[in-house]
Amino acid sequence: MYDSSDLRKGLKIVIDGTPYIVTDFQFSKPGKGQALYRCKLKNMMTGYTMDRTYRSGEKFEPANLDEVQMQFLYKDGDGFHFMDTQKYEQVALTEEQVGEAKNFLKENMEVTVLFFDSTPIDITLPIFVELQVTKSDPGVRGDTATGATKPATLETGYVIQVPLFIEEGDVLKIDTRTGEYVERVKR
Amino acid sequence: MQRLRQRALILQAVRNFFISREFLEVQTPVLVSTLAPEPYIEAIEVPLGKGDSLYLITSPELNLKRLLAKGFEHIFQITPAFRKNECGTKHLTEFTLLEWYSVYKDYVWLMECCEELLRHAAKVVGNWPVIEYGGMKMRLDRPFYRISVQEAFIQWAGWDPVANYDADRFDLDMVEKVEPHLLMNRPVFLYDYPAQCAALARRSSKDIRVAERVELYAGGLELANGFSELTDVKEQIQRFQEDMERMSAMGRRPYPWPAAFLNSLELLPDCAGMAMGVDRLVMLLTDARVIDEVVAFPFKGV
Per-residue pLDDT of chain A (187 residues; tens, 9 = 90+): 999 989 999 999 999 999 999 999 999 988 788 899 999 999 988 888 999 999 988 999 999 889 999 999 999 988 999 999 888 999 999 988 898 899 999 999 999 999 998 899 999 999 999 999 999 888 766 555 566 889 999 999 999 999 999 999 999 999 998 889 999 997 7
How many CA atoms are closer than 13 Å to the CA of B62, on its beta-carbon side? 23
Instruction: Return the SS3 of A48.
Output: coil
pLDDT at position B127 is: 87
User: B115 CB contacts (<8 Å, ≥6 apart)?
Assistant: B140, B143, B144, B187
The answer to whether B192 and B150 are in contact (CB under 8 A) is yes
- pLDDT value at B69 more than 80: yes
Q: Does B242 touch chain A (CB under 8 A)?
A: no
pLDDT at position A143 is: 55
φ/ψ region of B5 (left if φ > 0, alpha if ψ in -120 to 50, else beta) reads: alpha
Q: Does B193 touch chain A (CB under 8 A)?
A: yes
* Residue-wise pLDDT tens digits, B253-295: 989 999 999 999 999 999 999 999 999 999 999 999 999 999 9
Pick from B41, B91, B153, B171 the residue to mutate for testing the A interface (most A CBs within 10 Å).
B171
pLDDT at position B302 is: 54
Q: What's the distance, CA A158 to chain centroid?
A: 16
CA pair distance A124, A105, nearest whole angstrom? 11
Asked if A29 lies within 8 A of B85 by C-beta distance, the reply is no
Asked if A32 lies within 8 A of B199 by C-beta distance, the reply is yes
pLDDT at position B87 is: 86
pLDDT at position A186 is: 79
CB count, 10 Å around CB of A32?
19
Number of H helices, E strands in chain A: 1, 16
User: B7 CB contacts (<8 Å, ≥6 apart)?
Assistant: B282, B286, B294, B295
* Residue-wise pLDDT tens digits, B146-205: 999 999 999 999 999 999 999 889 999 999 999 999 999 999 999 999 998 887 899 999
Q: What is the mean pLDDT of chain B?
A: 95
The answer to whether B269 and B59 are in contact (CB under 8 A) is no
pTM of the shown model: 0.80
Instruction: Return the SS3 of A115.
Output: strand
3-state secondary structure chain B: CHHHHHHHHHHHHHHHHHHCCCCEECCCCCEECCCCCCCCCCCCEEEEECCEEEEECCCCHHHHHHHHHCCCCEEEEEEEEECCCCCCCCCCCEEEEEEEEEECCCHHHHHHHHHHHHHHHHHHCCCCCEEEECCEEEECCCCCEEEEHHHHHHHHCCCCCCCCCCHHHHHHHHHHHHHHHHCCCCCEEEEEEEHHHCCCECECCCCCCEEEEEEEEECCEEEEEEEEECCCHHHHHHHHHHHHHHHHHCCCCCCCCCHHHHHHHCCCCCEEEEEEEHHHHHHHHHCCCCHHHHCCCCCCCC
Asked if B86 lies within 8 A of A34 by C-beta distance, the reply is no
pLDDT at position A100 is: 87
Query: What mean pLDDT is predicted for residues B122-144?
Result: 94
Of B41, B88, B175, the CB nearest to A32: B41
Asked if A36 lies within 8 A of B91 by C-beta distance, the reply is no
> Percentage of chain B surpassing pLDDT 90?
91
Q: Which residue, among B222, B161, B158, has the nearest Cα to B187 in the 3D structure?
A: B222
Query: What is the spatial order of strands in the sheet that A36-43 belongs to?
Result: A2-3, A59-62, A12-15, A18-28, A36-43, A49-55
CA pair distance B66, B68, nearest whole angstrom? 5
Q: Does A55 touch chain B (CB under 8 A)?
A: yes
Q: Does B289 touch chain A (CB under 8 A)?
A: no
Please state the φ and ψ torsions of residue A48, each to the nearest 5 degrees: -75, 150
Q: Nearest-CA residue of chain B relative to A25?
A: B88
Q: Nearest-CA residue of chain B relative to A5?
A: B85
DSSP character for A97? H
pLDDT at position B301 is: 57
